[in-house]
A and B are shown apart, each in its own frame.
Chain A
């Protein structure tokens, strides 16, 4: 009896190992099912979904105008103090003072891509961009100014 059990155990063991080998070996003759991507080489073909959160950017139109009113809703919504908004006062031709955006400081090194600032923005001035390759040699390069030089607020955005 003992020998019979022993032989059956050995048979089952070898069979189970061969079953596993068959599964892996199968892919050797079916290379079409391999899904590995060669990342740095396929950078041009990378197709990231539009919702992918890579970094915060400010949208500018062709007239170099943005929709940021400097209301600091994003600054308040941010959990990590990633955003700092510096405002100035624009004086209109009639002599009225109006609060406007001076500098939109964005600390990419502190950002966790939680999307809360984009959700909080009442005018849709900022959005998430797909760029994810952020490595630089100096961390000061990660502090960015999001509004382009010379840009101003779009007409009609309050």
Chain B
């Protein structure tokens, strides 16, 4: 296979086996149906031997026009659909949308709802990083870690199921607070989970982090410098692994993050192993946040009183939050009606993917899996 742009630009003929005539280069497709792309991502890779010359990501295979769809939904309705963007941090997506609507309504969220939201966000972050850890180890050929990761993730899924009613697409955050109060078992089960996590996290390091094969495949692979991370617009663990302080929870604190004690995990190497270590560190920091909050959930309402029909005043509203993958921005333009005039999502995956070509150029095809795995791509988040 080949791309038309490739052939037109190089003015070359393509032979039957995919090689470009006269250049010694070859174009191969990774995806859209490839297990290592975690979804329908289509990478057109130009190879010289086994060395990557160029990567062209082709998007659009899972484009569901969420932004356009939201224009015909009310301010309560459009939130549920954002669970389907970055489905591994659906709570945080819903949180960003609810916060934007609250900004427009100038609504004060009760303290109990704020704490519940932060607790849910951090549980989601741990769950997301657990899944990333398992899936990335599987990309590199280690199958067992996937089951270890899912054991802990299952505990979080059960907590979510009990309180929110769903395991993946929760739709729990509503404008003004959260949809339902915490389940009576919530505190006990979260404490059980923290105990389980602390008892089992050393296995992660024994199985994967310390493994010599893993380290050799990760260190020095897919290096992204701090300047490049900034110029490509990378956020989240990808930017922090290059030494860029980009945690929205620290830089632009929302809800109660400014009152919490946690560290922004950064590394300086910028390679795949640094990104791995940042995410491992973030799991510990999230657990630290949960520990601070779980015994201090204030009493009170879980939802502020809102009108039956929400109308945002005319204007533009923007909020950003830190999802498990980076900075998610929600931009709403309102004409004063019951539905948004325009919604734009600034998703972390899209910007992080744009750095892939730069990171992988000149490296071998086998290293691409390590680079792509540590970018933690969720394809519906890129396409929307």
Partner-B contacts on A (CB < 8 A)? 12-13, 16-17, 19-20, 22-24, 35, 48-49, 51-53, 77-79, 112-116, 119, 128
Contact A24 B151 (CB under 8 A): no
B23 interface residue, CB < 8 Å from A? Answer: no
A12 to B211, CA, bound (A): 9
A115 touching B210 by the CB < 8 A rule? no
Q: How far is the CA of A53 from the CA of B172 in the complex (A)?
A: 12
- A115 to B: closest C-beta gap in Å: 6
Given contacts A24-B144, A49-B161, A116-B77, contact A19 B210 (CB under 8 A): yes
Is residue B206 within 8 Å, beta carbon to beta carbon, of the partner chain?
yes
Q: Are B206 and A22 in contact (CB under 8 A)?
A: yes
Interchain CA distance A48-B165 in the complex, whole Å: 10
Query: Which residues between 125 and 183 of chain B lie within 8 Å of chain A, taking CB atoms?
Result: 144, 151, 154, 161-166, 169, 171, 174, 179-180, 183
In the complex, residue of chain A having the shortest beta-carbon distance to the beta carbon of B204: A23
Contact residue among A23, A35, A51, A79 (Cβ-Cβ distance under 8 Å from B165) = A51
Given contacts A16-B212, A119-B179, contact A23 B80 (CB under 8 A): no
Q: A113-B166, A114-B171 are in contact. Are A51 and B180 (CB under 8 A)?
A: yes
Residues of A within 8 A of B166 (CB): 52-53, 113
Q: Chain B: interface residue count, which band?
A: 20 to 34
List 20 interface pairs A-B (beta carbons < 8 Å), by A numbering.
A16-B210, A16-B212, A20-B208, A24-B207, A48-B161, A49-B165, A51-B162, A51-B163, A51-B164, A51-B180, A77-B76, A79-B73, A112-B80, A113-B166, A113-B169, A114-B80, A114-B169, A115-B171, A119-B174, A128-B165
The answer to whether A35 and B206 have CB atoms under 8 Å apart is no
In the complex formed, the residue of A with least CB distance to B150 is A35
Taking CB atoms, residues of chain B closer than 8 Å to A22 are 206
Please measure, in the bound complex, the distance between the C-alpha atom of A13 and the C-alpha atom of B164, giving whole angstroms. Answer: 45
**With contacts A77-B76, A79-B73, A79-B80 known, is A17 near B211, CB below 8 A?**
yes
Complex alpha-carbon distance, A114 and B76, angstroms: 11
What residues on B are CB-neighbors of A119 within 8 Å?
Answer: 174, 179
Residues of A within 8 A of B174 (CB): 119
